[in-house]
Amino acid sequence: MTPIAGQPVLTANEMRAAEQQAIDAGGSVEALMERAGREVARAVARLASRAPVLVLCGPGNNGGDGYVAARFLAGIGLDVRVAASAAPATAAARAARAGWSGPVTPVADAQPAAILVDALFGTGLKRPLDPALADCLRTLAGKARRTIAVDLPSGVTTDDARTLGDVPIFDVTLALGAFKPAHLLQPAARHCGETRLLDIGVDVRSDLHVIEKPSLRTPDADSHKYNRGMVTIVGGAMTGASLLAAEAAMRAGAGYVALLGGQGGGPHALVHKSFDDDALDDDRIGALLIGPGLGRDDGAARRLDRALATAHRLVLDGDALHLLKDRMAVLESRAAPVILTPHAGEFAALFGEGEGSKIDRARAAARETGAIVVFKGADTVVAAPDGRARIVGDTNDWLSTAGTGDVLAGVISAMLAGGMPPFEAATAGVWLHADAARRLGAAFIADDLAAMLTESRASL
Ligand SMILES: NC(=O)C1=CN([C@@H]2O[C@H](COP(=O)(O)OP(=O)(O)OC[C@H]3O[C@@H](n4cnc5c(N)ncnc54)[C@H](O)[C@@H]3O)[C@@H](O)[C@H]2O)[C@@H](O)CC1
Ligand SMILES: Nc1ncnc2c1ncn2[C@@H]1O[C@H](COP(=O)(O)OP(=O)(O)O)[C@@H](O)[C@H]1O
Ligand SMILES: [K+]
Residue 350 has what pLDDT? 96
Q: Which ligand is nearest to the CA of 58?
A: 1
The predicted pLDDT at position 103 comes to 97
Q: How far is the CA of 201 from the centre of ligand 3 (A)?
A: 20
What does the alpha-carbon distance between residue 109 and residue 83 come to, in Å, rounded to a whole number?
8
ipTM of the complex: 0.94
Looking at residue 278, its pLDDT comes to 84
Q: Is 227 one of the annotated binding-site residues?
A: no
pLDDT of residue 2: 59
Residues having CB within 6 Å of any atom of ligand 2: 318, 343, 376-378, 380, 395-397, 399-400, 402-406, 408
Instruction: Tell me: is residue 378 an annotated ligand-binding position.
Output: yes
**CA distances (Å), 431 to each of 4, 210, 408, 425, in order?**
13, 10, 10, 10
Mutate to test the pocket of ligand 2, among 376, 396, 413 (most ligand atoms within 8 A of CB): 376
Helical axes 446-458 vs 404-417, angle rounded to 10°: 30
Residues forming a β-bridge with 172? 148, 194
Q: Which of 15, 20, 121, 157 to mutate to test the pocket of ligand 1 (most atoms within 8 A of CB)?
A: 121
Distance 121 CA to ligand 3 centre (A): 5
Ligand 2: centre distance to CA 376 (Å): 6
**Relative to the CA of 402, which ligand 2 atom is closest?**
22
**Distance between CA atoms of residues 264 and 257, nearest Å:** 13
Dihedrals φ, ψ of 335, to 5°? Answer: -85, -35
- Ligand whose nearest atom lies closest to the CA of 382: 2
Burial class (CB in 10 A: 0-12, 13-18, 19+), 372: buried
pLDDT of the residue at 184: 97
Ligand located closest to 409 CA: 2
Please work out whether the CB of residue 66 comes within 6 Å of at least one atom of ligand 1: no
pLDDT value at position 6?
A: 93
Domains and CATH numbers, the chain: 12-208 (3.40.50.10260), 230-458 (3.40.1190.20)
- Give the burial string for 211-237 (b: 16+ CB within 10 Å, else e): bbebebeeeeeeeeeeebbbbbbbbbe
pLDDT in tens, the chain (460 residues): 557 899 999 999 999 999 999 999 999 999 999 999 999 999 999 999 999 999 999 999 999 999 999 999 999 999 999 999 999 999 999 999 999 999 999 999 999 999 999 999 999 999 999 999 999 999 999 999 999 999 999 999 999 999 999 999 999 999 999 999 999 999 999 999 999 999 999 999 999 999 999 999 999 999 999 899 999 999 998 899 999 999 999 999 999 999 999 888 999 999 999 998 888 999 999 999 999 999 999 999 999 999 999 999 999 999 999 999 999 999 988 999 999 999 999 999 999 998 899 999 999 999 999 999 999 999 999 999 999 999 999 889 999 999 999 999 999 999 999 999 999 999 999 999 999 999 999 999 999 999 999 999 999 9
Question: Cis link prior to 187 (omega < 30° from 0)?
Answer: yes
343 is in an annotated binding site: yes
Ligand 1 within 6 A of 24 CB?
no
For residues 6 and 326, give the distance between their C-alpha atoms in angstroms, rounded to a whole number: 37
Long-range contacts: 88-93, Cβ < 8 Å, 24+?
Answer: 88/57, 88/59, 88/63, 88/64, 89/59, 89/60, 90/29, 90/59, 90/60, 90/61, 90/64, 91/29, 92/29, 92/30, 92/33, 92/61, 92/64, 93/33, 93/59, 93/60, 93/61, 93/63, 93/64, 93/67
Q: Tell which one of 21, 123, 199 to mutate to probe ligand 1, the residue whose CB is within 8 A of the most ligand atoms.
A: 123
Atom of ligand 1 nearest to the CA of 35: 44
Predicted TM-score (pTM) above 0.90: yes
Beta bridge partner(s), residue 305: none
